[in-house]
Structure formats: structure tokens, C-alpha cells
Amino acid sequence: MKCISVFFLLTLLIINNMTVAASDGYNLWLNYKPVAAELQNEYNQQIKSLLITGDSPTLNIVKGELSSGLEKMLGKKLPSAKSSAEQNTIIAGKLENILFAMNPEIEKGIRQIGGEGFVIFSEPGKNTVITAQSDIGVLYGTYYFLQLVQTGKNISKLNVVSSPGIKIRVLNHWDNLDGSIERGYAGNSLWDWKSLPGKTDPRYTDYARANASIGINGTVLNNVNANPAMLTPGYLEKVAALANIFRPYGLKVYLSIKFSSPVNIGGMETADPLDPAVQQWWKKKVEEVYSYIPDFGGFLVKANSEGQPGPQNYNRSHADGANMLADALKPFGGIVMWRAFVYDNNVPDDRAKQAYNEFKPLDGTFRDNVLVQVKNGAIDFQPREPFHPLFGAMPKTPLMMEFQITQEYLGQSTDLCYLAPLFKECLDSDTYAKGPGSTVAKVIDGSLENHQITGIAGVANTGSDRNWTGHLFGQANWFTFGKLAWNTNLSSEEIADDWIKLTFSNDEKVVATIRKMMMDSREISVNYMTPLGLHHIMGYNHHFGPGPWVNRGRADWTSVYYHRADSTGIGFNRTPSGSDATSQYHQPVAGVFANPETCPEKYLLWFHHLPWDYTMKSGRTLWDEICLHYYSGVEGVKNMQKEWNSLEGKIDSELFGMVKTKLTKQEKLAEWWRNSCVLYFQQYSKKPLPDGLEKPAEKLEYYQKFDFIDLK
């Protein structure tokens, strides 16, 4: 008997280890893990059967998600109810099919939430209803309900009315046709163009499912530095195959285009947007696109930026180029997302000012199906930037936010850096465009100027790596983007809590520990990379690791252009006595930024060139404050390591090991950032390190010769 017991225990251990080995991050936040026993008992009393009303590819997904998800979480297979008369049934379907189950007040609420919104309501001892005006709305509601169960929420008295605050919520994939990804750190492209359309990877469905589960409704498949071949019939057939897979999940397909395509693939001599022949070429091309993909979303365009062709090649404006494309797309309901990321090394002005200077005069000249897509900051997805001055500066034009989910400047796939605080810092910033309360969020959701077309884009961090994002915590940033795109009012903490519970555990210690790590992580990264408003001082070209010494090539791609360190001080003077970039903001923001006494210290060196002995609010000198920030950043990574190590045995062992390995690399990277920057700037400040700080292990020359990309 004793031998049998030992054998049984060993068998359980083997089974458990097999289960652990399968937890490789592929399922993202859709694990559907068994809930705690006490919750399972509670939920089983409230959920005894399922009833899906209606039939469509999307409602079939609803049925599958509810059946599979609840079975895994509750430990039992739910039967199908024969009618809504059965109590404790989950009823899911379009509003028109379940009116009998709804009271007048709830019916009134759902008729006001639009095509993608949903309602979930329940009464103790009765049914729970998930309904919407569309099948896609029902699907969104289904994922929301399943997340309530997985995170241990009370579902006995639900009265949820939810609709997206922003209409167009898209991922921007900077994927190339050869399978590479520009600024991609999680393997190769998800799209296997060579195999499409004949062979479709099951991962395409899983990708669509993940996006639908967080409310993302669009995807731009290819790089903004576009290959014109994407618009040829061979590739349109491949795009159509993906669109067919994505459609039941509410995920529309968009394409980046090369503005010179009429020349590149059309055999024309010009791509002048005011040339009638060029306009006709685009109209025919758009008709062709829609013949392959009837619900095609539209075009994303990078033009006259970083060498890309555009309307300025023909002495035309951005509006001329965007409007030509908008006119071609308009009959089909398509849109143009025209990027405002433009700058020219030949323009003798601050790069941070150039997008504003080019686009502000064009306000009100764009067609009504054009959105101008603006990065969160005026330089380029830096670890910290003040909000872009274009937000609030173009009241007659819908502005679309562009965030970067992939961590191009934030440690790529090496660093644990939770981006919700970065996103929220921008969204919650007050532009004062129409007085106090004119936040960036209100600009992009259309409420400030009553725009009917609204959008938000996130540069994707997905790739062929098994865990999708390279770093397990990179998944949190994808999740965060979707959640904030749906509701910009959510806090960083509540998004983190949900992601932790969906990914790891509902255990209070686990949640509290990981939440603290996540909430601290972005500030830690800023401290050891670019504290106090420093920016663009990373490694040349690959943008990984420190490079404050970079001074080769075009000026606005160097580090010295931005930090301007010399014997007198450090920082970029953007006040009226410098480049006057502060004047692009509304008052009182402009005045606050222009005065070093009122400028938030987190942006201080973004707007001011200050002496090394400038007195900070702490009473310390600027030099001492810079050093202490760099050193505190390294200590912050060490603290994250301790916090993570305290969770060993409390979460999945494979996931634990993945993150532990990354944190070890991050500590080394943080030390190299600290040592490189402190030593480099010290040669200008001529000042010693503050008391108590250890000296870097090597001389500056060592770090200048080191290729930090090897650390990855």
C-alpha cells in the first residue's frame, strides 16, 4: 500500500511538471486557469448552463469561448439550456434576439452604446445576459465576462454597460515582406507571406482572438516604410486570406502604402497627387483592393519623412496627398491615417518643432475621412517626453494617437518596463486648448471638438517567438494598449491587477508584489537611461544601450544634438531664448515649461540648458541629482529582482525562470547605462560623484568601445 502511495505521488509530480512545462506564455492572458475552490463553488451556483441565441461565425466563437473558458475555470462542462426559462443560465446574443430577457432601462442603455458596445446584467438566482447590438459587441462582452470570472470578481449583481471611447483601435505592424520586423524584438513576422494564401497558420486565429479579447479592432499588416509590392494582386490575395481569418473577431485589415506606388508599380512617370491620371490610378487601385477585401479599413501613410517619398516631392502639401487617397477610399468607407512624424535634417530648426510647423497650418484642410496620426511626443517614443504640442493645436482635424508598444528605446525585449504609466502620463496631460481639462485623451477621443472619427494606434511588439512578445511582461503592454484604447480612464494599477491575475494568479501576495514591480518599472528605466528630461542618448541605429557620445552622421540622429553637454552645463534650450519650442504649447503650459523654476523636473533638461551646479528642488546640484538618478535606477532593478525572487514557488516555474533570466540581463544593462552616462557627462562637469556612490568599474573608453547589442 505504501509503494502504491509513493507511486501515486510521483505520478502527480510528473503530471504537475508536464503542466508547468506547457506554461510557456503562448496563451497570453487567455489561460482560463481553474479558479480557487471557494470561488468555484460560488460561480457554479450562478452558472449552470449556456444559451447562445443566433448563429454566425462570431457567435460560434462566443459559444466556444464560453464553453471552453468556463469549463476550464469551473471544472465542469456546462450543458446547453433549452430556453431562457432555465435559471442560472448564461445567455449571450444580439439584443434583437433576447429582448424578452431585458428590462426597459437596460434596453434603453444598450441602444445608446453603438455597434461595438455591450451590456452584461444579472440578478441573484436568475440568469446572466451578455448582449449587444452586433455579434462583435457580444464577443467583446463575452471576453469581458470571462475576465471577470478569471479575476475573481462578483458576478451575482452585474450591471455593466460598456462601449469603446475611441472608434479605430489598431496595431501598427512594422513588418517587412521578407519576414523581418523593423524595431521588432520577438522573432520574425507573424505573417508567412511565402505560404499565404494557400497555407494559413493557426497562430493567425490566436492573434485575432487575443486582439478581440482586449477590444482591438484593426491591424496594419506592414511596415510604414512600405514596399509597393504590397498593393500588387499577388499580395492582395494573401492579405485577403488573413482578413478572412480576422473578420469573425472584428479585426479589420489596413495596409501601409508607399506614396510613390503609381511610379513603382503603376508604370507612371509621376505620383503628383494633383495629377488627374495619378488620382485615377489610385481610384482603380482602391477598387481592386476592395474587390479582394470588401471590409478593408484603409491606408496608413508615412510620407516625406526619413527619406520616404510624399507629396512634397511635387511641391504639394500633406493635405493634398492625404485628400487624394481619402477621395479614392471614401466610396468604400475607408480612411487615411496620415502620420505626422516628419522632420528634415536640412531644416535649421529644432527637430521637436517640425511636425507642428508643418501640420498646424493645414488644420481644417483635410477630408473628413483623414486622421492625422501623431506620436505621443515630438521626438520619437523616448523613455519620457512631454506630450506632443500638436495635441490641442488642430481643433478642426481628428488627431490619432500613436503609441509604441514595442520597446525600441526602453530595453527592447530585455527590460521589464510596464508602459501604462507612460501612456497615461500623455493621455492625462492637459493641453489647455479650451481651458483646464482639455486633456490629450479628450483630443483623441473626439470629445473636445466633437469629432466623429477617432483613432489610436500602437506599434506592435508581437513576433514569431513562442511567447509572442519576447519578454513575458511585454504581453502586459499589448494588453494595456487594448484596455486604454477602449477606456482611457482606466488606471495603470487596475490594468496591471487584471493582467497579473489573468496571467499568473489571484493570490494577494503575488498580485501586490508584481503590481509594485510593474508600477515602479518605467520610472526605474527612465532613471538609469534618461533622467530629468534627457533624451535620445541611446546606441546608434539599433537604439539599444547607452550612447551619449554618438556624434557621427546627420545631426538629428546623434546624441550630442539633444543633450548638448559642455563645460557650462547640460540640456536643450527650448525656451524663447533657445529654439522656442515651448511657444507651441498653449498657456499656461508654455509658461510652465519655459521657466526652470516651474518646469516639472522630469522634463527639465528637455526644455532647459542649465549649469552643472544649478540648484534642484532637493537642494542638491544638478550634477549630483543626475548621478543619484542613474544610481537609483540600478538599485531599482536590483529591488525588482528581489521582489521577483520572493515569488518562487508561488507562480508557474517556467514563467518564473523566463523573467528571472531577463532581470539578470537588465541589471547588467542598467549598470552599463549608469556607468557610461555618468563617466561621459563627468568629463564636462569636472565634478566628483556624490559621496557614497561607487565608482564605475571601467574607464569611459571601455564603454565607448563596447557593443551593447551583444547583451541581448
Confidence of residue 555 (pLDDT cuts 50, 70, 90): very high
Q: Grid coordinates standing for 110? A: 444598450
For residues 51-56, average pLDDT: 95
Q: Domain end: 113, 130, 162, which one?
A: 162
Chain segment 441-485, per-residue pLDDT in tens: 999 999 999 999 999 999 999 999 999 999 999 999 999 999 999
**194 plus 214 within the same structural domain:** yes
Chain segment 586-617, per-residue pLDDT in tens: 999 999 999 999 999 999 999 999 999 999 99
Q: Domain end: 117, 136, 162, which one?
A: 162
Residue 621 and residue 615: Cα distance in Å, rounded? 5
Q: Grid coordinates standing for 378? A: 515630438
Residue 712 and residue 702: Cα distance in Å, rounded? 18
Does residue 3 sit within a domain? Answer: no
Domain with 701 in it: 526-572+609-711
Nearest CA to 695 out of 668, 667, 681, 674 is that of: 674
Does residue 582 sit within a domain? Answer: no
Provide the 8-state DSSP code for 132: E
Q: What percent of the chain has pLDDT over 90?
A: 90
Looking at residue 99, its pLDDT comes to: 57
**697 plus 618 within the same structural domain:** yes
**414 plus 531 within the same structural domain:** no
Annotated catalytic residue, options 65, 116, 358, 380: 380
Residue 94 and residue 133: Cα distance in Å, rounded? 6
**466 plus 566 within the same structural domain:** no
Residue 383 and residue 673: Cα distance in Å, rounded? 13
**351 plus 225 within the same structural domain:** yes
Q: Into how many domains does the chain fold?
A: 3
Looking at residue 561, its pLDDT comes to: 97
Residues in the chain: 712
Residue 17 has pLDDT above 80, yes or no: no
Name the β-bridge partners of 456: 169, 401
Annotated catalytic residue, options 71, 96, 178, 306: 306
Annotated catalytic residue, options 65, 135, 272, 408: 408
Q: Grid coordinates standing for 38? A: 471557494
Does residue 245 sit within a domain? Answer: yes
Q: What percent of the chain has pLDDT over 70?
A: 96
Output the average pLDDT for the chain.
94
**155 plus 172 within the same structural domain:** no
Chain segment 623-676, per-residue pLDDT in tens: 999 999 999 999 999 999 999 999 999 999 999 999 999 999 999 999 999 999
Looking at residue 104, its pLDDT comes to: 67
Does residue 178 sit within a domain? Answer: yes
Chain segment 300-357, per-residue pLDDT in tens: 999 999 999 999 999 999 999 999 999 999 999 999 999 999 998 888 889 999 999 9
Residue 287 has pLDDT above 70, yes or no: yes
**642 plus 662 within the same structural domain:** yes
Nearest CA to 456 out of 375, 378, 362, 397 is that of: 375
**430 plus 453 within the same structural domain:** yes
Beta strands in 137-184 (DSSP E): 159-162, 168-172
Does residue 217 sit within a domain? Answer: yes
Does residue 516 sit within a domain? Answer: no
Residues 378 and 456 sit within 8 Å (Cβ to Cβ): no
**403 plus 369 within the same structural domain:** yes
Residue 13 has pLDDT above 60, yes or no: no
Print burial letters for 660-672: b (CB count within 10 Å at least 16), e (below 16).
eebbeebbebbbb
Chain segment 186-242, per-residue pLDDT in tens: 999 999 999 999 999 999 999 999 999 999 999 999 999 999 999 999 999 999 999
CATH number of the structural domain spanning residue 184:
3.20.20.80
Does residue 236 sit within a domain? Answer: yes
- CA dist 625 → 429, 548, 604, 617, 689 (Å): 25, 18, 12, 10, 10
**241 plus 321 within the same structural domain:** yes
CATH number of the structural domain spanning residue 556:
3.90.1330.10
Q: Domain end: 145, 162, 179, which one?
A: 162
Chain segment 405-444, per-residue pLDDT in tens: 999 999 999 999 999 999 999 999 999 999 999 999 999 9
Chain segment 60-115, per-residue pLDDT in tens: 999 999 999 999 999 999 999 988 888 999 999 998 887 554 566 666 777 788 89
**Dihedral sign, Cα of residue 150, residue 151, residue 154, residue 160:** negative
Q: Is 306 a catalytic residue?
A: yes
Q: Is 428 a catalytic residue?
A: no
Residue 648 and residue 626: Cα distance in Å, rounded? 35
Residue 4 has pLDDT above 50, yes or no: no
Residue 77 and residue 476: Cα distance in Å, rounded? 30
Chain segment 486-529, per-residue pLDDT in tens: 999 999 999 999 999 999 999 999 999 999 999 999 999 999 99
Provide the 8-state DSSP code for 173: -
**Dihedral sign, Cα of residue 549, residue 551, residue 556, residue 562:** positive
**310 plus 351 within the same structural domain:** yes
**621 plus 493 within the same structural domain:** no
CATH number of the structural domain spanning residue 106:
3.30.379.10
Residues 560 and 602 sit within 8 Å (Cβ to Cβ): no
Q: Is 135 a catalytic residue?
A: no
Residue 127 has pLDDT above 70, yes or no: yes
Residue 3 has pLDDT above 80, yes or no: no
Chain segment 518-551, per-residue pLDDT in tens: 999 999 999 999 999 999 999 999 999 999 999 9
Query: What pTM was estimated for this model as a whole?
Result: 0.96
Does residue 11 sit within a domain? Answer: no
